[in-house]
Amino acid sequence: MEEFVLVVDDESPVRELLKSQLSFLGFSVRDTGDASEALTIAASPVPPALVLLDIEMPEASGFDLLRQIKKIDEDIQVVMVSGLHDLGTVRRCVHAGAYDYLAKPFELDDLHSTVDRAYERRGLIRENRKYQDHLKAMVEARTQEARGARDIALLTLAKLAESRDTDTGMHLARMSEYSQILAENLAYSPYADRIDEEFVESVYRSSPLHDIGKVAIPDSILCKPGALTDEEFAIMRTHTTVGGDTLRSVLEKHRGQTSLAMAMEIAYSHHERWDGKGYPLGLSETDIPLAARIVTLADAYDAITSRRPYKEPFSHEEAVRRIVVDREKHFDPVLVDVFVDYCQGHFEVIKDLEVEPPSPDEAAEAMSSSSARP
């Protein structure tokens, strides 16, 4: 349906005059003397391009009707029509969103000029919005492209670390899923005010980078099937600072990357413990970043339930038991409670999709949820 002008006036002769003049000028016209019908037409799938609105309406003032029309559709241009030459009323109407004001009686040329300008203004507003939407779409596309490239780069780094540790299997994929589920369900915890969609997505994307620092660990230590010596253990521990420092250097060149900042925190702190007996800094309780606490629990569950060259995987029930035992020792008690109350069933399903052994450095953690080896 073509665009049209809606004439709203309670006086039938005035409506007929306006319809006649506008039709003569080539405009499509509809009319009504009822305020409710005018609002219905304004809210219809094909609204008017322009409303010529009488200020003195019996059911509702033209001023009130103007505000309701603009609330329905800001693009509808409204020209107020009245026999009152009241500048105060004109100002009120323009301030409320009216495009212009016609005082009765008006000349045909004035009507034509006013309606033409109103149509032109509507067209410019729509073209500007289309242009802004196009720019927004382009920016979003570029942003998504950049995020995609960043995510590929981050996953490539994680896979690089994983490739040097032949027993990890689906560890990274499971870590993302476990960490996301924990983060989502913190919405039902005392940490609810810190959980939003961006936080959950960042945890999902960042968690696979927790062990990125292992790229710097010699194979003789990383792939050693037996227990590590004290010296080897000290070297293995450096994967937290190496990983964190690496991500920090990247972050300094790409400020504002939420996932990267979180990945850095996780890399540094995923071996810290709630009781302060972890490493590298011996942080405790809420001094440990929340995302790192999430990954710590997820990593422990995966270690306990995964197969090793020297052991079979422990059951889901045993993993839950050990995590509960280490509540307020290794793990944040709030996270343990959320895990037990909301998440453990999801973890069990994810665990059974792909059960492959995690890395050798998690061997002791498989025997006890408190890891003796990084």
Least confident interval from 203-207, 326-330, 356-360: 356-360
Q: Of the residues 81, 114, 133, which one is the last residue of a structural domain?
A: 133
Least confident interval from 58-62, 122-126, 206-210: 58-62
Residue 356 within any structural domain of the chain: yes
pTM here is 0.57
Tell me the mean pLDDT in the region 226-235.
88
pLDDT at 276: 97
Q: What CATH number does the domain containing 102 carry?
A: 3.40.50.2300
Q: Of the residues 90, 110, 133, which one is the last residue of a structural domain?
A: 133
- Percent above pLDDT 90 for the chain: 41
Split into its structural domains, the chain has a count of: 2
Least confident interval from 16-20, 136-140, 267-271, 273-277: 136-140
Residue 272 has pLDDT above 90, yes or no: yes
Print the domain residue range for 120: 5-133
Listing DSSP states for 47-88 in one string gives --SEEEEES--SSS-HHHHHHHHHHH-TTSEEEEEES---HH
Can you name the residues that pair with 51 across neighbouring β-strands?
6, 78
E strand segments, the chain: 5-8, 29-32, 50-54, 77-82, 100-103
- Percent above pLDDT 70 for the chain: 82
pLDDT in tens, 278-326: 999 999 999 999 999 999 999 999 989 987 654 688 999 999 999 999 9
pLDDT at 333: 97
Mean pLDDT, the chain, as a whole number? 83
Residue 149 within any structural domain of the chain: no
Q: Of the residues 117, 133, 149, which one is the last residue of a structural domain?
A: 133
pLDDT in tens, 36-81: 899 999 999 999 999 999 887 777 788 888 889 999 988 899 998 8
pLDDT at 189: 94
Residue 125 within any structural domain of the chain: yes
Taking the C-alpha atoms of residue 326 and residue 296, their distance in angstroms, rounded to an integer, is: 12
Long-range contacts of residues 231-239, Cβ cutoff 8 Å, at least 24 apart: 233/373, 233/374, 236/361, 236/373, 236/374, 237/271, 237/279, 237/280, 237/374, 238/213, 238/280, 239/211, 239/213, 239/214, 239/374
pLDDT at 132: 80
